[in-house]
Amino acid sequence: MAAIPRQEIRFKINPKLGSLGPQLQYSKIMDLALDKANREIILPVIQRSVTIASRTTKELILKDYALESNNNTITRFAHLMVGTLAGSLAHVTCKEPLRVSLYSNLRNLIQNLMSGSETIEQLIHMLINDNLDLGCAIIEAVATRQVAS
């Protein structure tokens, strides 16, 4: 989760979870689960997204800027386009793999702390639903920065 400093990541912890345990504990669990999930899926997602974005950008630039004589303008637009496309593709393609990985990681972490499979399932689904977009945004930011470097 290098794209966003860890101390700046704010997880959504549903107030309904307060009856099951302290909020700080859920934030720590989410931090561990999301970090591990991102590490598991980030490389293939970013590689695929950057490859597709690069090829798409090349074709679009060749088509749309064929008559442009200023190479600096073309280069600037290409960098902006490939970064935006790679980030958006990464965001979209990471959602389901991230959900699956988060579920597995949260289940492993929470099972050690509490019992009651129905309660655990509700807790896991609530944490995932509230924080999945945050995880996708982190991967999107990493993909966008990967292209820029």
Question: Mapping DSSP to helix (H, G, I), strand (E, B) and coil, where does residue 130 land?
Answer: helix
Q: Is 26 exposed, middle or buried (0-12, 13-18, 19+ CB in 10 A)?
A: buried
Mean pLDDT, rounded, for 127-148: 92
**What tens digit of pLDDT does each residue of 68-116 get?**
888 898 999 999 999 999 999 999 999 999 999 999 999 999 887 777 7
Considering the entire predicted model, what is its pTM? Answer: 0.84
Q: Is the pLDDT of residue 1 over 50?
A: no
pLDDT at site 136: 96
**What tens digit of pLDDT does each residue of 9-44 get?**
778 888 877 776 665 588 889 999 999 999 999 999
SS (H, E, C) 15-53: HHHHHCCCHHHHHHHHHHHHHHHHHHHHHHHHHHHHHHH
| Count of CB atoms situated within 10 Å of the CB of 149 | 4
Between CA 12 and CA 24 the distance in angstroms is 11
pLDDT at site 55: 96
